[in-house]
Structure 1
Amino acid sequence: MSSAPPPPGLDPERLRALLDRERPGLVRGTLDARLVEGGRSNLTYVVTDGAGRWVVRRPPLGHVLATAHDMKREYRVISALHPTAVPVPRPVLLCEDESVLGAPFYVMEFVPGTPYRTAEQLAPLGPERTRGAVLGLVDTLVDLHAVDPAAVGLDDFGRPEGFLDRQVRRWGKQLAASRGRELPGIDALHSALGRRLPDSPAPTVVHGDYRLDNALIGADDRITAVLDWEMSTLGDPLTDLGLLVMYSTELCVPDSPVSTTAAAAGHPSPAELIERYAARSGRDVSSLAWYTAFAWFKLAVILEGIHYRYTLGQTVGAGFDRIGELVPVFIEHGLTTLQEG
């Protein structure tokens, strides 16, 4: 076992005591824990007793109250989806007692697999395996959207009525809260999205941030688990597809600090992803340009927020100095996508 100090936010002895009480026999030795780097919101740890491995998710340090609900939502959705065709980790325990780790948290099984974040990481797979992995991501999305929310106890998991209108308004407010410069075209994009709201299909469980690096790919190139359900709700399923299509479009920005996997050899084109989803789900995707344009707008707002915090000296690290130059690229993609649709 490691002699390294435990990571901030997780006391292995307290966690062991809880698991021994609530899940006797699960843990057989001293627990070691490590923080998984790369998460942007809630914290993720891998814990092991030398034989078994589990994952712990908790809110960021110092932000307990604002995000406490997220833990319960995440745990609820993976618990509901685990018996379905959607691959999610097996839930182990939800703890809302803040005296254990200082915040609500949950434990789930560790699932082996690789999250592919860049085209460079996909390169060793080769074109055929890359294509299969990405198409598998579409098939899994179809499986998710085929789940009957009422049948798995998620019929009250969100407010699907007026979902798209609320989304457009919400991200407009986010933009206003982090606006420190002129951004040509972004108001026109926001207004056009609001004017041209499509009619939503029947609501489903939506992931909210569906992309390749929020899924684990196993050794056989199949998806072993879909992760990061903190933005999941009941809503318009095509918002998930629009986001996936956006992340499957090449940015054509040299050395971009925000990367997509689209440039990987063998990666299916956005049109192929849309066609496969339509064929397998039976849904009308004729309005998908709107959903993809909305995804470009949403990411432009997120990136502008990061840029705004960087200009205030609140964000440090490699690449943040170049985030701002990407925002106009995302705006332009959004406007072009909406016009072409």
Structure 2
Amino acid sequence: MSETFPDDTSGFDAWASAGIAGFRGPSRAKKFPSGQSNPTFLIEAASGRYVLRRKPSGKLLKSAHMIEREFRVLRALQGTGFPAPRALALCEDEGVIGSAFYVMAHVDGRIYWDPALPELPRAARAPIYDAMNAALAELHAIDVEAAGLADFGKPGSYFARQLQRWSEQYRASETARVADMERLIAWLGENVPADDGRVALVHGDWRIDNMIFAADAPELLAVLDWELSTLGHPFADLAYQCMQWRLPNAGAFRGLGGVDRGEAGIPTEEAYVAAYCRRAGLEGVPNWTFLIAFSFFRVAAIVQGVYKRSLDGNASNPERARAMGAAVPLMAKLAVEEVDKGARPQL
């Protein structure tokens, strides 16, 4: 099993039998092609299906691939009613399969890889977006203290801290100088908005292909990939998803750029932001140019790390990782364009 899971699953089966209620082996593991950061496997056992997330092999960047944090937040969400997979057990003993990992319940449903939703009829598309919007507002309304997550991140100065963190991560994985990234990093540093006191549980990678929907209804069953979750500013999640209205509908990153949203039955960004504000009780979202530019910068830094791992030979999906690396200049270019024109919600 590549990247990596032992061909002999007896060690895992013994651990799971002791740590997961009702688990019965023997099991077999099949790697999902997605999951660039933390390799993800479907575990098929005598007792049913499970999903396992592990750290990648090789040298890892500081504070990256924190599957322990994923496990903690999933456990905390189980008591809130928020749609998230049920976390079953965490293993920090690297001797079991070669790295720390956790196991969660398998969720049957449908994942949409293209935000234009070409596989759905026109009338079915807007309800999918509305379900995402409602869940985002629900996530940001969670009482983090009641959920046991009051110490899940540092309060205040979220954007300043994130800018420092991802600048450091980008420099640690930089493979070539990108002029637009240099300009973007400088501009962001000069335009960090003053802290307004908003703190919420943020997902960090809120996009449609990190979600499982019901097969025959616009019902959001589970939000996946919580590696980047923390206590932060709720507008970061909102703007991160709204990057999709600008990204081209092609290549390693699928967006809504160039898609006739009216013809497709997909809400405009303006309508999407307004719906979120209505649900969150807000009059609007200030500093939109910064928020969009920052979102592009952060994803560019993440993608650069994925690309560097592909060069080092320890990417989860090497071919896709190399393709994603080519997207770094594009992300920086799109961000600079937003800065130059002053970003406005897309119609």
Instruction: Give the shorter-chain TM-score range.
Output: 0.7 to 0.9
By how many angstroms is 1:178 displaced? 4.6
2:30 maps to 34
Instruction: Find the aligned partners of 1:336 and 1:223 in 2 and give their Cα distance.
Output: 33
By how many angstroms is 1:63 displaced? 5.2
Q: What TM-score, normalized to structure 2?
A: 0.83
Cα 1:278–1:178 shift into 2, 3 Å:
same
Q: Give the match's secondary structure for 1:100.
A: coil
The answer to whether 1:97 aligns with 2:93 is yes
The answer to whether 1:116 aligns with 2:112 is yes
Contact 1:249 1:270 in 2 (8 A): no
Instruction: Find the aligned partners of 1:279 and 1:259 in 2 and give their Cα distance.
Output: 27
Q: C-alpha deviations, 1:130-166, integer Å up to 9, x for none? A: 2211221111111110001110100001112222112
Instruction: Find the aligned partners of 1:270 and 1:146 in 2 and give their Cα distance.
Output: 21
1:217 maps to 213
Number of residue equivalences: 332
By how many angstroms is 1:111 displaced? 0.5
The answer to whether 1:248 aligns with 2:245 is yes
Instruction: Find the aligned partners of 1:7 and 1:261 in 2 and give their Cα distance.
Output: 32
Q: C-alpha deviations, 1:12-33, integer Å up to 9, x for none? A: 3222222322345x13452222
Q: Give the match's secondary structure for 1:238.
A: helix
Contact 1:209 1:240 in 2 (8 A): yes
2:229 maps to 232
1:286 maps to 286
Q: What are the residue-to-residue correspondences of 1:1-341 with 2, within 5 Å?
A: 8-10=4-6, 11-24=8-21, 26-50=22-46, 52-62=48-58, 70-119=66-115, 122-179=117-174, 181-198=176-193, 199-219=195-215, 220-251=217-248, 255-260=250-255, 263=259, 265-283=264-282, 284-303=284-303, 317=319, 320=322, 323-324=325-326, 326-338=327-339, 339-341=341-343
Contact 1:296 1:331 in 2 (8 A): yes
Cα 1:12–1:119 shift into 2, 3 Å:
same
> Which structure is higher in helix share?
1
Q: C-alpha deviations, 1:207-260, integer Å up to 9, x for none? A: 1111111111112121110111111111111111111000232427xx533322
By how many angstroms is 1:125 displaced? 1.0
Instruction: Find the aligned partners of 1:84 and 1:208 in 2 and give their Cα distance.
Output: 19
Contact 2:76 2:149 in 1 (8 A): yes
Aligned-residue identity in percent: 33
Q: Is the deviation greater in 273-282 or in 175-184?
A: 175-184
Cα 1:160–1:55 shift into 2, 3 Å:
same
Instruction: Find the aligned partners of 1:298 and 1:56 in 2 and give their Cα distance.
Output: 26
Q: Give the match's secondary structure for 1:124.
A: coil
Contact 2:252 2:324 in 1 (8 A): yes
Instruction: Find the aligned partners of 2:335 and 2:321 in 1 and give their Cα distance.
Output: 23
Instruction: Find the aligned partners of 1:172 and 1:56 in 2 and give their Cα distance.
Output: 30
By how many angstroms is 1:298 displaced? 2.2
Contact 1:204 1:234 in 2 (8 A): yes
Q: C-alpha deviations, 1:243-287, integer Å up to 9, x for none? A: 1000232427xx533322563722222212211111111234122
Instruction: Find the aligned partners of 2:64 and 2:151 in 1 and give their Cα distance.
Output: 19
Task: Report the AA paired with residue 170 of structure 1.
Answer: R
Cα 1:97–1:309 shift into 2, 3 Å:
closer
By how many angstroms is 1:291 displaced? 1.0
Cα 1:47–1:310 shift into 2, 3 Å:
closer
Q: Give the match's secondary structure for 2:319.
A: coil
Instruction: Find the aligned partners of 2:91 and 2:124 in 1 and give their Cα distance.
Output: 39
Q: What TM-score, normalized to structure 1?
A: 0.85
